[in-house]
Amino acid sequence: MLQTQAIAPEGQLLTEDEIRGALAQALERRFTNQRVLVLIPDHTRSLPLPFLFRALVESLRDTRQLDFMVALGTHPPLSETHLNALVGLTAEERQTTFAKIGLLNHAWDDPSALVTLGVMEQDEIRHIAGARWHSSLPSRVEIRLNKAVLAYDHLLILGPTFPHEVVGFSGGAKYLFPGISGPEMINATHWLGALAGVVGTIGIKDTPVRAMIHAAACRLTTPVTLIALTVEGHDLAGLFIGDLYQAWEAAADFSARRHIHWCEKPYQRVLSCAPPMYDELWTAAKAMYKLEPAVAVGGEVIIYAPHLSVVSHVHGKYIYEIGYHILDYFLADWERFKHIPLGVLAHSTHLRGSGRLENGIEKPNVRVTLASQIPPEDCARLNLGYLDPASINVNDWKDREDEGILYVPKAGEILYRLK
Residues 60-115 have pLDDT tens digits of 999 999 999 999 998 889 999 999 999 999 999 999 999 999 999 999 999 999 99
Q: At what angle do helices 183-196 and 122-129 cross, to 10 degrees?
A: 30
Assess whether pLDDT exceeds 80 at residue 3. Answer: no
What single DSSP character describes residue 365? S
Class of domain 261-418: alpha beta
Percent of the chain with pLDDT over 90: 94
Q: What is the mean pLDDT of residues 186-190?
A: 97
Contact 239, 14 (CB under 8 A): yes
Instruction: Check for a shared fold between 5-258 and 261-418.
Output: no
pLDDT in tens, 356-412: 999 989 999 999 999 999 999 999 999 999 999 999 999 999 999 999 999 999 999
Torsion of CA 97, 83, 61, 150, to 10 degrees: -140
Going by pLDDT thresholds of 50, 70 and 90, the confidence category of residue 1 is low
* Contacts of the segment 364-367: beta carbons below 8 A, 24+ positions apart: 364/326, 365/292, 365/295, 365/297, 365/298, 366/288, 366/292, 366/295, 366/297, 366/298, 366/299, 366/300, 366/301, 367/298, 367/299, 367/300, 367/301
Please, where are the H alpha helices in 221-372? 244-258, 281-284, 286-289, 316-322, 327-331, 334-337, 342-352
pLDDT tens, position by position, 10-34:
878 999 999 999 999 999 999 999 9
Helix (H) or strand (E) run with residue 83 in it:
helix 80-86
197 touches 79 (CB < 8 A) = no
User: How many C-beta neighbours within 10 Å does residue 227 have?
Assistant: 25
What is the rounded average pLDDT of the residues 174-194? 97
- Write down the mean pLDDT value for the chain: 96
Task: Quick: pLDDT tens for 106-165.
Answer: 999 999 999 999 999 999 999 999 999 999 999 999 999 999 999 999 999 999 999 999
Q: Which of 318, 180, 176, 303 is nearest to 244 (CA)?
A: 176
- Residue 7, pLDDT > 90, answer no
**Separation between Cα atoms, residue 133 and residue 137, nearest integer Å:** 7
Which CATH superfamily groups domain 5-258? LarA, N-terminal domain (3.40.50.11440)
- Give CA–CA dist 171/339, Å, rounded: 30
Residue ranges of the domains in the chain? 5-258, 261-418
pLDDT bracket for residue 234 (50, 70, 90): confident
Across the range 292-315, mean pLDDT stands at: 97
Per the document, the length of the chain is 419
